[in-house]
């Protein structure tokens, strides 16, 4: 069995479609129920849905042989996995955002609210800028509105959340998209199958 961790939600449905068109279908996954894992014994596949930010943990520890994770998660947690293919879906960007009129005052430490502390720290240390990270788990946009932080480092997709909260992108740090990742030992053990999957999936990637 090849164990495949997919991110639950809209991105996962899109990615599943790509796997199916690449010949890795699993009819059981379309049945209406609350199951979290689905098998196609004939093809030797087992899919399971996990929280998007958990995919890389399953793959790194070998509970999944392969999976699909956002580049944001790979940059933030640096899991020890192989990154095999950019699927070019789930596209967004990691940005610094804040009030439209915000001007950085280099004389003081910048307060940055984020779910992505490592990405933010690396970015600002590359600029030589001292920052104070305020780690939050969601609704990051509230932080500068309430004066908890000066700016945020967060994902921007359509820009609607920022706009509706009177915030704007101040700087783009890095573009993000979904990546096919593999457990390092599984990649050796299932090399032929995984390489065939990568080739077939690559045909489904829209550029």
Binding site residues, ligand PRP, CB under 6 A: 138-141, 154-161
For the CB of residue 28, give the shortest distance to ligand PRP in the complex, in Å: 28
Packing angle of the helix pair 10-21, 191-204 (nearest 10 deg): 110
For the CB of residue 165, give the shortest distance to ligand PRP in the complex, in Å: 9
Nearer to ligand PRP, 115 or 179 (CB): 115
Nearer to ligand PRP, 166 or 195 (CB): 166
For the CB of residue 22, give the shortest distance to ligand PRP in the complex, in Å: 27
Strands (E), the chain: 2-7, 37-40, 45-50, 66-70, 82-86, 92-99, 110-114, 131-135, 151-156, 167-176, 178-182
CB atoms within 10 A of CB 62: 14
For the CB of residue 160, give the shortest distance to ligand PRP in the complex, in Å: 4
For the CB of residue 152, give the shortest distance to ligand PRP in the complex, in Å: 9
Q: What b/e readout covers 95-133, taking b as 16+ CB neighbours within 10 angstroms? A: bbbbeeeeeeeeeeebbbbbbbeebbeebbeeeeeebeb
For the CB of residue 198, give the shortest distance to ligand PRP in the complex, in Å: 27
Nearer to ligand PRP, 59 or 140 (CB): 140
Nearer to ligand PRP, 115 or 190 (CB): 115
* Sequence-ordered list of residues with C-beta below 8 angstroms from that of 32, at least 6 positions apart, any chain: none
Nearer to ligand PRP, 106 or 146 (CB): 146
Contact 140, 148 (CB under 8 A): no
d(CA 94, CA 71): 10
Nearer to ligand PRP, 131 or 156 (CB): 156
Q: Which two tokens stand for residue 206?
A: 């829209």
């Amino acid at each position: 069995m090849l164990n495949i961790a997919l991110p639950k939600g809209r991105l996962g449905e899109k990615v599943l479609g790509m796997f199916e068109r690449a010949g890795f279908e699993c009819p059981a996954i379309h049945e209406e129920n609350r199951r979290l894992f689905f098998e196609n014994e004939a093809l030797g596949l087992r899919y399971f849905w996990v929280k998007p930010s958990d995919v890389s943990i399953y793959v790194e520890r070998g509970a999944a042989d392969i999976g699909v994770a956002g580049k944001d998660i790979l940059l933030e947690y640096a899991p020890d996995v192989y990154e095999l293919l950019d699927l070019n879906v789930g596209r967004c960007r990691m940005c610094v955002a804040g009030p439209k009129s915000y001007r950085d005052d280099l004389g003081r430490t910048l307060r940055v609210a984020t779910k992505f502390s490592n990405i933010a720290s690396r970015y600002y240390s590359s600029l030589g800028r001292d920052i104070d990270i305020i780690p939050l788990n969601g609704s990051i946009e509230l932080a500068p509105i309430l004066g908890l932080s000066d700016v945020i480092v967060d994902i921007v997709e359509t820009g609607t959340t920022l706009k509706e909260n009177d915030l704007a992108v101040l700087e783009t740090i890095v573009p993000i998209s979904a990546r096919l990742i593999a457990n390092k030992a599984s990649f050796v053990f299932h090399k032929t199958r995984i390489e065939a999957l990568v080739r077939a999936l690559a045909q489904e990637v829209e550029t």
